[in-house]
Amino acid sequence: IFFRTTMATGEAAVFDALFAELAEKFRAEDGWEARQEEPPQAYLHVSRPSWGDENLNGIHIETYVLSRQLAERRAPVALHCERGCPFQPKFMQLFTQRAAAEIKSWPGDYAILGDLKGSSSICEVSVPFAETPAKTVEKLKGEVQRLQKLACLIDETIADCTGR
């Protein structure tokens, strides 16, 4: 048991470091923000400034590798609209209607969850781990980038929800 715990802790530290690097890469992209919880760990929010995610409770793309993901050897990548968004129900309904067909066309078996009451997930995919933590993080990055392609539609939906 000690050996497994030590291995899991070591692997978690590797993912923590890789996620810190990944956050910096997303921060370097024009118009994008990346946030991690404090203390930083393998948990990441990627958003645009207008998405209201300053406190990790707005619209964002999220991925993480924590103890459960280490055990299951899979990690989620999701588009969320949290309760901190003042127009959450309207956004989730409109955006899901507008984006569902495109999301369903993507590889990876994305689940469309935007119509579920009480959910903050609009869509998500479970990504199997690769041979190494670095390759796993590359796979997660690819799915985050896929969701980033919806940024214009997210911005349009926010504008429709707020009357901007």
- Residue 119's pLDDT is what? 86
- Residue 69 is encoded by which pair of tokens? 């993901």
- Residue 46's pLDDT is what? 98
Domain span holding position 44: 2-162
State how far the alpha carbon of 81 is from the alpha carbons of 19, 92, 139, in Å: 22, 7, 23
126: domain CATH number is: 3.30.930
- Secondary-structure percent of the chain, ordered helix, strand, coil, rounded to 5: 50, 20, 30
* Average pLDDT per 10 consecutive residues for the chain, totaling 164 residues: 54 96 95 92 96 95 96 97 95 96 94 86 97 98 98 98 88
For the chain, how many structural domains are there in total? 1
Could you give the count of Cα atoms lying within 13 Å of 125 in the half-sphere of its Cβ?
Answer: 21
Does residue 114 sit in helix, strand or coil?
A: coil
DSSP 49-109: GGG--TTS-SEEEEEE--HHHHHHTEEEEEEEE-TTSTTHHHHHHHHHHHHHHHHHTSSS-
Q: For residue 43, list its beta bridge partners.
A: 64
